[in-house]
Amino acid sequence: MFIDTHCHVEEDKISKEEYIRHAQEAGVSCCVVSFCDPKELSKVEELVSVSDSYYVTVGIHPEYAMDVQESDFSLLEKMLEKKKVVAIGEIGLDYYWDKNHKEEQKDVFRRQMVLAEKWKLPVVIHTREAMNDTYEILKEFPQVHGIMHCFSGSYEMACHFLSLGYLLGIGGVLTFKNSKLGEVVQQLPLSSFVLETDSPYLAPEPVRGTMNESKNIPYIAEKLANWKGVSIEEVAKVTSKNAIEMFDLPIDL
Ligand SMILES: [Zn+2]
């Protein structure tokens, strides 16, 4: 059994029912869907009611930091009470998207870290061209743990995040030809990782370039198994256990 710890379901391209059916056929029995656009937070309940296999994370992505309203924070906090909301995310810093509003991004990020502390929830971290600033902010909240979503940094950065109690979300990037991530994961124990697709983006090889779905998780697992020199079953078992513990999912392995 696999768990996709990070995906987005684009309902104009595929129905929620079909998406989960494809995933289950591929052995992916749980999909954690990321809701990080304040305008979409209200769709959470509708999605989780479709299937027991859907869980969600809710948060305000750094790309919305400039336009965020106080009402967005109140709605977010209201959503945290809901069943099947397992983390705050994805939240963080994205200087690739916008270099000119770093302070606004940091402010929105910190406010959500405070919420994670208050609600005792893990966080899912998005960081792009902002690894050091992200690390500095995470250090301010030693009580909070979570997942470094779509991790693609160095071995040293991986160790920094692991020592703060974060897991590394490993996705399609691991399967790409020029990726350096393989050499990084090879040096770390399986207990450091969870699997994710970040669908509909970043489809792994050999389906790169198509619309990604949770059903593609086995391609990523297979690559991780190769790098680690273990069976795909071992990858499934350990990464699912990691996800279940991090998100406190009511799932038996
Ligand atoms: Zn995402």
- pLDDT digits over 116-162, tens only? 999 999 999 999 999 999 999 999 999 999 999 999 999 999 999 99
Is the pLDDT reported for residue 17 higher than 90? yes
**167, burial (CB in 10 Å: exposed 0-12, middle 13-18, buried 19+):** buried
Q: What are phi and psi of 61, to 5 degrees?
A: -65, 145
- CA–centroid distance, 91 to ligand 1, in Å, is 10
Is the pLDDT reported for residue 239 higher than 90? yes
- CA–centroid distance, 149 to ligand 1, in Å, is 8
- CA–centroid distance, 225 to ligand 1, in Å, is 23
- CA–centroid distance, 86 to ligand 1, in Å, is 15
Domains of the chain: 2-247 (3.20.20.140)
- CA–centroid distance, 159 to ligand 1, in Å, is 22
**Kindly report the CA angle at 33 between 105 and 72, in degrees rounded to 5?**
40
Neighbours of ion ligand 1 (CB under 5 A): 34, 198
- CA–centroid distance, 5 to ligand 1, in Å, is 10
Is the pLDDT reported for residue 185 higher than 90? yes
**Tokens of residue 209, six digits:** 């370039």
What pTM was estimated for this model as a whole? 0.97
The string of DSSP codes covering the chain is -EEEEEE---TTTS-HHHHHHHHHHTTEEEEEEEE--GGGGGGHHHHHTT-TTEEEEE---GGGTTT--HHHHHHHHHHHTSTTEEEEEEEEEETTT-STTHHHHHHHHHHHHHHHHHHT--EEEEEES-HHHHHHHHHT-TT--EEETT----HHHHHHHHHTTEEEEE-GGGGSTT-SHHHHHHTS-GGGEEE---TTS-PPTTSTTSPP-GGGHHHHHHHHHHHHTS-HHHHHHHHHHHHHHHHT-----
Please write the tens of the pLDDT for every residue from 21-52: 999 999 999 999 999 999 998 899 999 999 99
What's the one-letter identity of residue 126?
Answer: H
- CA–centroid distance, 201 to ligand 1, in Å, is 8
- CA–centroid distance, 199 to ligand 1, in Å, is 7
